[in-house]
Amino acid sequence: MRIDLHMHTLQSDGELLPIELARRAVVMKHEAIAVTDHADPSNIERLIKETRKDVPLAREWGLDMLVGVELTHIPAAKMDAVVKHARKAGAEIIVVHGETISEPVEKGTNRAAVNNPDVNILAHPGFITMEDAQAAADNGVVLEITSRPSHALTNGHVVRMARKVDAKMVVNTDTHSPGDLISEERAIHIAMGAGLTRDEAEICVHRIPKDIIRRVRKG
């Protein structure tokens, strides 16, 4: 069964309602997803409030739908304050939009994210440094291997840095449209294509996302 912890809806720049995304995830044999629409201080409360309404509906199909945000283009100097804001507002999963090579993310965003233990996932972190990968390992921030083509070009680099310091990795889709959802086997292949062994890939696809969910539910 698949778990995907980085997905978007039409509440930001995706194409589906949260419940539409949930239904498609169920058909694609997902056991859990996180709705993590693009967020900043202007919309955090609205996103969380609106997504929560569909959680019990998704549960009718046996899908665990977590309510989260992807903090996007937040000034690095303000990251800690906005992470705290999101957590206080009720975000279960906090993803930070990393320094992908395809968007003009401020330098220092990766570092601000990995130094905050309240961040769950650093998404598509581009050419992350070994120092920042080490901070991610130390603070329990999971590094993302992505299936999104515009961000996936640096997956191999992310794997190399993470391996050197034993940082945890997870495979997410960064879904925006219906065709972005992937199967469990496809997720494993993406991780292997980035340089992981089959056993390592299965850990990233199966164990790590479950660990993230357990951690946030305990917290």
- What string of pLDDT tens digits covers the 219 residues of the chain? 999 999 999 999 999 999 999 999 999 999 999 999 999 999 999 999 999 999 999 999 999 999 999 999 999 999 999 999 999 999 999 999 999 999 999 999 999 999 999 999 999 999 999 999 999 999 999 999 999 999 999 999 999 999 999 999 999 999 999 999 999 999 999 999 999 999 999 999 999 999 999 999 986
CATH number of 2-218: 3.20.20.140
What's the CA gap between 117 and 113, in Å, rounded? 8
Phi-psi region of 166 (alpha: psi -120 to 50; beta: other; left: phi over 0): left
Q: Where are the domains positioned within the chain?
A: 2-218
